[in-house]
Chain A
Amino acid sequence: MSDFNSIADRAAAATPPAIARKVRGLSDRAIAWLFIAPTIVLLLAINIFPLIWTVYLSFTNYASNRPNRPVVNVGLKWYQDILGSPEIWASMQATAHFVFWTILLQTVIGFGLAYLIDRKFRGHAFWTTVILIPMMLSPAVVGNFWKFLYQPQIGLFNYIVSFFTGIPPSSFEMLGSVTLAPWAIIIVDTWMWTPYVMLICLAGLRSIPDYIHEAAEVDRASRWRQFWSITLPMALPFIMLAVLFRGIENFKMFDMVMLLTGGGPGSTTELASIALKRQAFEAYRTGYSSAFAIILFVVVFGLANVYVKALNKVKQR
């Protein structure tokens, strides 16, 4: 609470005394608290309390569809079950595969596009807007839309692949094949979110002043060397930020994949978030899914923390 106190103090210090004097009987500090109280109450009610409650539930056998059953403390049972469950590990692996490849592809393609757009050719503003369109669509629309594109008989995607490779379009099913489905969701996510990465990388590239490039040119650095020793290192904090955003986003990916594959075929595209939803709202194992949620939270929080430390190190250079 010392943080809140110091904020209240600072707010009090910044308040002109004339206003404070008008409200009789209330100290500056009390008024400051009055102003921030609604926000704190809201934060406690919708963020902090559910988190603590989830931790509590993860040690019980509570099931939300059987509210009258006596709640029994089960200790660490769910945690042991989850960490020993092959299905859960498979869903974690699917998530890791999805996160790794989407980030890699989106960063490489996104930075490449940003590098090209940054050249300020004729109509570059128009093309920037065109590239940004997928990002503006709702994930639900994208999911349904790509379901049709991936359709083996009538889908455009299969026909384009067939056009370039000669493989008959109806001979493969992007969403129905165990080997192709994990890549199908990666393609869609990359299509949708590469523009976002591009936008952040573009901001990074635009932040490098022209005279730095001019100095490098006069210093006889080739284009190649300029890219590797000037452009890339100076844009790196921005690229890393984009990776962080996309990583957190895709770790909890649910809507688009749910609509595309529903986790199938079998459970090949059952990401951790989908597995969690199944446990919580199909099997109604509330305690078990709470434990799973806590584990996911710790993993994401831990990874993000390590990453942000690395990011700060890069930024401080």
Chain B
Amino acid sequence: MAEIHLESVTKRFGDVAAVQDIDLVVQDGEFVVLLGPTGAGKTTTLRLIAGLEKPTEGRVLIGGHDAAPRSPAERDVAFVFQQYSLYPHLSVYDNLAFPLRAPVRRQSREDIHKAVERVARMLRIDHKLENRATRLSGGEMQRVAIGRALVRQPSVYLMDEPLSSLDAKLRSELRLELQHIQRDLGATMLYVTHDQIEAMTMATRIGVLDHGRLVQIGTPREIYESPRNTYVATRLGMPAINLLPAGAFAGAAMPPGTTLIGARTEHIVVDRGQGGGPRARVEWIEHLGDQNHLHLVMGDHRLVTLVGADTNLSVGDELQVSLRRPLFFAADGERIAA
């Protein structure tokens, strides 16, 4: 295992900068998740580390060595591609065994067999080993793709949205599985996703990307509780954070310069009281089973918050809204410490 250093790495495709001036250190054995929407530069960052792209500026170091002169094969990374990229003419077994059959590895037939069986059992594809890779469901293909990375012991695992095309149940199972594997192997893992639940549950640290820039990096807790700006704040939280102009809560105490208030569901207190605070009307209640999404209209603004499943509220009720230690943002979107 090894750590990864990105030193002011920039990658341009023509005039478009896919990755801009990123500094990132992934420690040995760390699980870092890069979070961002489509086109934020997540995949390009992985490809730069794997050596599938060359940085326009900056350096990539793997295990303390400059990776520039080394080809993808020499960098000893495992890559799970978003499009599975299985070898369509090979069986599942041969797909999994492919990385082990590299001449440099010189593994015996029995060792390869054992490694493939172990990974196949772990990912529950051991009954499909003789199938052609193209005769699998999407979920099975993706598990084979993950298995092909796990079958080796590379210095770094790079995963590009490996769970995105699985159904919810399998996704949550594999999420746990990947965390166990990562911990057991002590693997250095850089994982790309646009799914905030994956980021929150798996990551040692989360890096949030926006238009090729690394906006903030920190533990899931830091990112969630102290987002640097509104962009990061809107990346995490279900339902999404409510951004309201400071004027909506004219009476509340807030630091100078505040123009936006960010209120997550835990910052919002609603009750039927008749105090002096702003009032809101229940517009809609979404039942999620264990809890409810409460859609509120407050003057010109809309709010979404959570209430318990046993709520006695109904559409049309008038409520009093107050805030408990919300987030404050300046005009440029940067957060202001309370």
A residues 205-249 with Cβ under 8 Å of B? 209, 211-212, 214-222, 225, 229-230, 233-234
Q: Tell me if B239 counts as interface (CB < 8 A to partner A).
A: no
Contacts of A215 in B (CB 8 A): 79, 81, 85, 87, 148
Evaluate contact between A221 and B89: CB separation under 8 angstroms.
Answer: no
Give the number of residues in B that approach A within 8 Å (Cβ atoms).
23
Tell whether B127 is near chain A: CB-to-CB under 8 Å: no
| Pairwise interchain contact B88-A234, C-beta atoms closer than 8 A | yes
- The CA-CA distance from A211 to B78 in the complex, in Å, is 14
Q: Say yes or no for A66: interface residue by CB 8 A criterion.
A: no
User: In the complex, which residues of chain A have a beta carbon less than 8 angstroms from the beta carbon of B98?
Assistant: 216, 219, 221, 229
> Does B63 reach chain A (CB closer than 8 Å)?
no
Report the separation of the CA atoms of residues A222 and B105 in the bound assembly, to the nearest whole angstrom: 12
Using known A-B contacts A218-B52, A221-B73, determine if residue A230 contacts B87 with beta carbons closer than 8 Å. Answer: yes
By the criterion CB–CB under 8 Å, are A211 and B99 in contact? no
Cβ distance A13 to chain B, nearest Cβ, rounded Å: 32
B102 within 8 A of A: yes
B89-A217 in contact (CB<8A): no
For the complex, give the distance between the alpha carbons of A131 and B242 in Å: 64
Chain B neighbourhood of A216, CB < 8 A: 87, 98
The answer to whether A317 and B89 touch (CB under 8 A), given A218-B77, A221-B102, is: yes
A218→B72 CA distance, assembly (Å): 5
Contacts of A220 in B (CB 8 A): 73, 76, 99, 102, 104-105
Contact A225 B103 (CB under 8 A): yes
CA distance A218 to B148 in the complex (A): 11
Cβ 8 A contact of B102, one of A212, A225, A233 = A225
Residues of A within 8 A of B148 (CB): 215, 219
Chain A nearest Cβ from B116, distance in angstroms: 14
Considering only CB atoms, which chain A residue lies closest to B52 in the complex?
Answer: A214
Given contacts A214-B52, A233-B89, A317-B132, contact A219 B102 (CB under 8 A): yes
Q: Are A218 and B102 within 8 A (Cβ)? A: no
Contact B87 A218 (CB under 8 A): no
B91 nearest CB neighbor, chain A only = A317
Complex CA gap A217/B52 in Å reads 9
Query: Which residues of B93-111 have CB atoms within 8 Å of chain A's CB atoms?
Result: 98-99, 102-105
- Name the distance in Å between B25's Cβ and chain A's nearest Cβ: 22
A contact residues around B89 at 8 Å (CB): 233-234, 317
Contact at B103–A218, with CB atoms within 8 Å?
no
CB-CB < 8 A to B50: which residues of A?
218
Q: Residues 31-59 of chain B: 1 if any A CB is under 8 Å from the residue's CB, otherwise 0? A: 00000000000000000001010000000
- Are B102 and A211 closer than 8 Å at their CB atoms? no
Residue of B nearest to A316 (CB): B132
A234 to B52, CA, bound (A): 22
Q: A218-B79, A219-B148, A225-B103 are in contact. Are A209 and B85 (CB under 8 A)?
A: yes
Q: Please, how many angstroms separate the alpha-carbon atoms of A217 and B87 in the complex? A: 12
B71 on the A face (CB < 8 A):
yes
> Which of A209, A218, A229, A234 gathers most chain B CB within 10 Å?
A218
Chain A residue numbers with a CB within 8 Å of B79 are: 214-215, 218
Question: Which residues of A lie under 8 Å from residue B103 when comparing CB positions?
Answer: 222, 225
Contacting pair B73 A211 (CB below 8 A): no
For A212, the chain B residues whose CB sits under 8 A away are 85, 87-88
A-B contact pairs, 5 of them (CB 8 A): A214-B72, A215-B79, A218-B52, A233-B89, A234-B88
Write the residues of chain B forming the contact surface with A, with a CB cutoff of 8 angstroms: 50, 52, 71-73, 76-79, 81, 83, 85, 87-89, 98-99, 102-105, 132, 148
The 7 closest A-B pairs by CB, nearest first: A219-B99, A215-B85, A220-B102, A220-B73, A211-B85, A218-B79, A217-B72
- Inter-chain pairs besides A216-B87, A217-B71, A317-B88, 14 sampled, C-beta below 8 Å: A211-B81, A214-B72, A215-B81, A215-B87, A216-B98, A217-B52, A217-B72, A218-B77, A219-B102, A219-B148, A220-B99, A220-B102, A220-B105, A233-B89
